[in-house]
Chain A
């Protein structure tokens, strides 16, 4: 149990992000990029970007989720260890946005994987993306607590 508590402490103090572009216009991607640069600098809050899904706690998804990418998105989601939180950034990731009705995408991230936080806007500003991450950390904490409670004490 104490290990799980340590996990929760670590995970909520320093969540690592994985950013995944599923077919958006790159607008949200450069805003996520801007959000990690000196002006906003979430690293002072412990938020760090990681290139590997196995190290990540929070998955940031941007873009419309094209059919070709959907299976990869599912696979990446499965590779992230529990507890995990998904943040859908931008209108495209929420509902398909301006590309709604097209033949080649699935209209939103939540059609493929469960989403916990939505950051609307086209494109959302970097500070709102950081706010979304803060909200995600809260959900991460809740999820970690749930795991802690459900695991029997030995």
Chain B
């Protein structure tokens, strides 16, 4: 019986640097261009609802802007989002801010963290914290 071919490789690996990433100590960086969390720039958004129509999962709902009864803004539910970036692609005013941030782990008692409101830079327009679903 011939010797198993892998034996040499296994022996060699004993003296090599570990392949394992020092993960919990160091964050693993995704490759550049990773499709991470995306937010809406509330000031840029014109409330056209195109992203909500095109979303394959229906993760985006349009909410009425308080004070301005005609304008709407999108709210993303990361519990439904599949990070396909279709919304980023179709947005006519490029109101989506993309990042390489990985979607965070969410505990059962913090389920409201799934729903993310747009970022409003001009605080005057910032909608008052209203009912969370």
Contacts and interface: CB of A to CB of B under 8 A. Distances in A.
Contacts, number: 85
Given A95-B80, A127-B28, A41 B20 contact: yes
A98 B103 CA distance: 17
A98 B57 contact: yes
Interface string B57-88: 11000000000000000000111111110000
A122 interface: yes
Interface stretch (A53-61, A73-81, A112-120): A112-120
B36 to A, nearest CB: 9
Contacts of B104: 120
B108 A114 contact: yes
A97 B20 contact: no
Given A95-B80, A98-B82, A118 B108 contact: yes
Interface residues of B, number: 28
Contact of B79 (A39, A91, A131, A139): A91
Interface of B: 19-21, 23-24, 27-28, 30, 56-58, 77-84, 102-108, 111, 114
Interface of A: 38-41, 44-45, 91, 94-98, 100, 114-122, 124-125, 127-128, 130-132, 134-135, 139
